[in-house]
Amino acid sequence: MLSSLSIHRLRVPLRNSFKTSVRSAHELETVLVRLTDQHGRSGWGETPMSKVTGVSAEASIRSLDGPLRALLFATKSLEEALAAVQHSPEPAAIRSALDCALHDLLAQAAGVSLAARLGGQGLTVQTDMTLSVAAGAESVAKALEHLEQGFDCLKVKIGAEHDAVAALRALRAAVGPRVMLRADANQAFQPQEAIRVIRELEDAGVNLSFVEQPVAAADLAGLARVNQAVETPIMADESLWSLNDLQELLRLGAASMVNIKLAKTGGLSAALELLNYARNEGLEVVIGCMLESQVGISAAASLATVLPQRAQDLDGGLWLRESPVLGGVAYAGPEISLPDRPGLGIIGLQGQ
């Protein structure tokens, strides 16, 4: 049984400006939730603000403190509460916070880490590091800085306002052939332009591991055109929110890889279903994140432990000047370590 729900709206400064083709951010705005059960255990979840999800802090708080609070406290068990949240019509990013907090509580009740409860192996995962949209020289300087920190997989944000081909060619020349380079366009191109850019990158020998979401999220036919016209693997991100989306991507042959994010799927329950379905259909899966805190990253990293060891896309917490919570994941260069404690291992808010 649940005894309380507390909601915390936070603004956390970033180390550096975060720029994509659709936004520029200097701070993380997020809403954390803390669910407490009758035994005094606390489960944590997060709804980060993002143009992708389209939810605001005000709307999140209204939803959490209104219909979702009423829904939760009408249930008689954690399992019943989890099922009720999954079937709620509230936005996915808001539901995700409660879904993750309930999974945290269920793992604590079982006395195991959330990673173990999800079927994961071990308590560490690797992440890439993101380079914001920038001119070539700036990207090269940042890339070399990250290599010194131990990263061997970099994800480069690209957009129409910069020469993506020149920037990525310069990066490849600077970092050498062994570093894994990924490109994320965040819907920046029309299909034909995406095909041109990717083919030029292929001809230049840049050797990208994949190009993520080169076209608009709703343009699945355009994404399929790109996927079928180039040799570089194409990853769907903003195009993938639900099982229906995944099935349509598969039907069209629109991508060979998918990026699963908890804020898009509505939490761990749906994300795990998507992960298993995608892998059974032969798609490669990467677990990603929004710009979010160690609360959301802890849940996503727990899910990532069920996948084979490869670089995930979970560097969101590295952009913060400091974590707003005690406990949860710890970063050491590209390695993310989950605490060897039941649930997510989050103790509480900093300073409280």
Positions marked active-site: 157, 261
Q: Which residue has the tokens 């959330």?
A: 114
Cα separation, 162 vs 175, in Å, equals: 20
Q: Is 62:7 a contact under the CB 8 Å cutoff?
A: no
DSSP calls for 126-183 = EE-EEE-S--HHHHHHHHHHHHHTT--EEEEE--TTS-HHHHHHHHHHHH-TTSEEEE
Which DSSP letter does residue 313 get?
B
What's the token pair of residue 346?
Answer: 């989050």
Per DSSP bridges, beta strands 42-48 and 24-37 are: antiparallel
**Single-letter code of the amino acid located at 271:** A
**CB burial string 331-342: b at 16+ within 10 A, e below:** beebebebbebb
Sign of CA dihedral 233, 238, 241, 246: negative
Dihedral Cα 62, 63, 65, 69, nearest 10 deg: 170
Q: What are phi and psi of 259, to 5 degrees?
A: -110, 115
Cα separation, 155 vs 144, in Å, equals: 13
Cα separation, 260 vs 112, in Å, equals: 24
Q: Which residue has the tokens 């008689």?
A: 76
Which DSSP letter does residue 242 get?
S
Cα separation, 257 vs 280, in Å, equals: 12
**Single-letter code of the amino acid located at 351:** G
